[in-house]
Structure 1
């Protein structure tokens, strides 16, 4: 997403608003607007991050993350896994961290991982284009959904009995 035109628009509006005060005020406004470039970008990134958080809360178990690439934000949309989507449709198990919270808010947990496991989790999250936190939440939700789904037992007379020798 290119936010440069939005930053430039804000800078132009600042300069225009000082036009009535004279040339010196307009020049000061131009200099100020250039120095505010990084601050304007940071504020816009914070707004986009808040919006992504709100969208994620509504989209769960999918998610939307905002990443900064160079000077521009980039949205990463992660759809739910097939298991999560099925659990959501069938109501088999909660698929979102918000589903486990009494008041709908996520909580903070400190997790200590061996370095090699942390490295593998980071690599898996990167392959799926999501944050490590989102990947870990999905892994826990998937594991809990699998526990909640009973493994079907074959009927007693299923005809799957074999006898003999195997070499």
Structure 2
């Protein structure tokens, strides 16, 4: 970084201010400027070095240094190589399905004839018996949040009897 433009700007401003004092003011300013240039460079270097130190303290890693090269300043930025972030871990698996220990529970299910017929058709399309299809449907509904899509107690908007009405088949 070349400090000369900044020192020259200070010199011009001081010379302009000295014009008010006539010849005597200009001569005093010229003498002062000879001594002022090194002091101005040193003050600017101190400010730049302080800025580099503050930047370094804010960096999570690495640093910024200011080095003197003749009458100029050089910046040295030490930044560690960026390592790509590892991909996010896969979502944890859901709760393990209970082991099939061979015990079965018997359930009686009464369906309207039309619903039973539709269930039989769907089971046949899947190449399964009605019982196997129903077991798989219940298993799917009780794992992976499948029951959230149907709440028999939700208010369908058609009920005028209150919120305790149950929707579904009996």
TM-score, normalised by the number of residues in structure 2: 0.47
Relative contact order higher in (CA < 8 Å, ≥ 6 apart)? 1
Structure that is richer in helix per residue: 1
